[in-house]
Amino acid sequence: MHAKFGGFFSGDAVEYSKPSLTFEEQAELLLSRGLLADKSVLITRLQAVNYYRLSAYLFPFRNTSNDDYKENTALDQVWSCYTFDRQLRILVMDAIERIEVAVRTQLVYHVTRCHGPFGYLDRTFFPKLDDHHYRRWIDELKDETERSRETFIKHFQEKYGDCHSMLPLWMLCEIMSFGKMLTLFNGVDDDIRRTIAREYGVEDKILQSWLGALNVVRNICAHHGRLWNRELGFKPFIPNKQKHPQWHDSFSIPNKRMFAILTILKYLLKNVAPTSFWECRFRDLINRYPTISPTAMGFPPNWETHILWKSS
């Protein structure tokens, strides 16, 4: 017999039988496994951050042979990882927002210049999307428009609704999610993609992979997921050495962990927001948490010597 969960077969059915524990029992369990903490403080932390969430930050401190924690693993150390990660997410979201708005602006500008404000309703202008994905994209945009309570949408519908059931693209983009924007970018013809990518000094396939990775990271942040010590499921392309030697100065940028994302954000922000203090805030965050090793995020030991990270 097989148990089906989330569309996957898990093999022989196994019933989940772990009981619900009180906050005090959760604290006692962690203490019994070797976590060094004041019990009352630990309970307060567990009341603010549930056990399962905190366990993601405890996992690197576990012994490989059992569920106990390594010697001298203290709650303060684990909590520093948690608070560092929370502040890192805020910084990453700030950078992604700036980049999303900039790329969306370029995308809408070039699409409407080529095809007009309602050109997105013509399937032929999206050669990279199959019928199914194009239709789903349009239907989801319709749903987002109907759900929105934005004043500018109400005004447009009152004035132009008799002639137009959908918004012009420059309005629609203001309620478009990152994922919908990415679908638009993926669907347009090569010339538009290449034109936009040139604005950022890379090829369109590179920018496309970066946007895909940033969309995944953005969703992780939006759901308060962990960035620290996380391996990326969607790995962005690193520009090749022949065309982009600066990406391989001193060492090549590894693309498995957050160092790649942070380098991409820094690189794009130099174009999108050249007067931003984002890099300074990031370096300040690193300096405020000296016990948090950047290595867990894929930072090489000599990362600050790389030309893309050298202080200006």
Q: What's the rounded Cα separation, in Å, for the pair 77 and 199?
A: 43
Average pLDDT over residues 196-211: 97
51-58 vs 39-48: helix crossing angle, rounded to 10: 110
Minimal CA–CA distance to 213: which of 99, 309, 304?
Answer: 99
Task: Decide: 297 and 228 in contact? Cβ < 8 Å.
Answer: yes
Task: Decide: 27 and 42 in contact? Cβ < 8 Å.
Answer: yes
The pLDDT tens digits for 246-298 are 999 888 899 999 999 999 999 999 999 999 999 999 999 999 999 998 899 99
Mention every residue, 6+ apart, whose C-beta is less than 8 A from residue 235. 213, 255, 256, 260
Q: What's the rounded Cα separation, in Å, for the pair 169 and 117?
A: 5
Q: Given a cut of 60, is residue 6 above it in pLDDT?
A: no
Q: At CA 305, angle to CA 302 and CA 311, rounded to 5?
A: 130
Locate 227 and state its tokens.
């960035």
Q: What's the rounded Cα separation, in Å, for the pair 280 and 123?
A: 44
What are the C-alpha distances in Å from 291 to residues 12, 64, 272, 304?
43, 22, 32, 18
Q: What is the pLDDT of residue 1?
A: 44
Q: Given a cut of 70, is residue 9 above it in pLDDT?
A: no
Q: What's the rounded Cα separation, in Å, for the pair 88 and 80?
A: 12
The pLDDT tens digits for 145-171 are 999 999 999 999 999 999 999 999 999
pTM over 0.85: yes
69 bridge partner residues: 62
DSSP 3-state of 2: strand
Q: For tokens 């957050």, what's the residue?
A: 258
Domain ranges of the chain: 1-43, 84-305
